[in-house]
Homo-oligomer: A and B are copies of this chain.
Amino acid sequence: MYTGISTPAPEPSRFPAAPVIGYRNRQPATPFVQAALAERIDAGTTVFSEGDDAGNVYEVVEGVVRLYKLLADGRRQITGFRFAGDLLGFAPQTHYGYGAETVTKSKLRRFSRARFDRLVNDEPALAQRVLTVTFDELRSAQEQMLLLGRKSAAEKIASFLLKMAERQVDTLEVRLAMGRADIADYLGLTKETVCKTISELKRQGIIAASSASCIEICDRERLEDLAAGENPDIF
């Protein structure tokens, strides 16, 4: 069971297999179902839950969103993070196949599915973008399967830091928007193992950290080798 969840308020479950215990939101579950465009949302808010009617498509204008799937007892797997410019929930299915929650304060632009479909049909460029995004997500999901199924904790952390560094200007100073629990649920670890592994990487001089959320890459080469599984014997 996962704790590290701030608000203990249980949320009425909406889909079949989900039992009540353990299903919690980090937030008082104020579901985001409001006005029209580019909406400000607090950190830790549910955008939609797995199994909800897929009535809307969202664009992240600002902030970070986590996508996740849950098991009956609350075990959570984060399948990805979405950042400014990314689309959420555009798969042409009647129900969302995963939940989405903001990690930070965010701005989201919301489209009804009908409107989104119209936009996509009218704009070949937008259709192309959706297609590209989908294939990118698929490729990224396959990479993540390799990580989850076959990499050690250290290799997972190394891969994660490099992936987060990629999307930043200064690729040596990684700013992590998400907490240790989110990282853990993304990498298939526990938050304690994430902490211990990051500490070990610091001890080895591969990284340094001015604070928990700001990590400096000191030896990019060793970090890359580790991430690629070249060095399965550091620990």
Name the contact of A71 in the complex, choosing from B19, B93, B151 (C-beta under 8 A): B151
Cβ contacts A125-149/B at 8 Å (1 or 0 each):
0000001001101110111111011
Selecting from A35-43, A197-205, A225-233, the interface stretch reads A225-233
B134–A138 touching, CB < 8 Å: yes
Residues A188 and B148 in contact in the complex (CB < 8 Å), given A91-B139, A142-B98, A230-B17:
yes
B91–A1 touching, CB < 8 Å: no
Name the contact of A93 in the complex, choosing from B19, B77, B135, B187 (C-beta under 8 A): B135
A232–B1 touching, CB < 8 Å: yes
Nearest to A149 among chain B residues (CB) is B188
Name the contact of A75 in the complex, choosing from B76, B92, B229 (C-beta under 8 A): B229
Residues A19 and B145 in contact in the complex (CB < 8 Å), given A77-B150, A134-B134, A139-B91:
no
A53 at the interface (CB under 8 A from B): no
CA–CA, A144 and B232, complex, Å: 24
A79 at the interface (CB under 8 A from B): yes
Chain B residues whose CB sits within 8 angstroms of the CB of A135 once the complex forms? 91-93, 134
B230–A69 touching, CB < 8 Å: no
Residues A72 and B228 in contact in the complex (CB < 8 Å), given A93-B135, A139-B93:
yes
A123 at the interface (CB under 8 A from B): no
B141–A141 touching, CB < 8 Å: yes
Measured CB to CB, the closest approach of chain B to A5, in angstroms, equals 13
CA–CA, A97 and B136, complex, Å: 11
Measured CB to CB, the closest approach of chain B to A163, in angstroms, equals 14
B72–A187 touching, CB < 8 Å: no
CA–CA, A141 and B134, complex, Å: 12
A73 at the interface (CB under 8 A from B): yes
B69–A143 touching, CB < 8 Å: yes
Nearest to A1 among chain B residues (CB) is B232
Nearest to A135 among chain B residues (CB) is B91
Complex interface residues of chain A between 131 and 179 (CB less than 8 A to chain B) = 131, 134-135, 137-139, 141-146, 148-151
Which 3 residue pairs spanning A and B have beta carbons closest together?
Answer: A149-B188, A71-B229, A141-B141
Query: What are 7 A-B contacts defined by CB distance under 8 Å?
Result: A17-B228, A75-B151, A92-B135, A134-B134, A137-B138, A141-B141, A150-B188
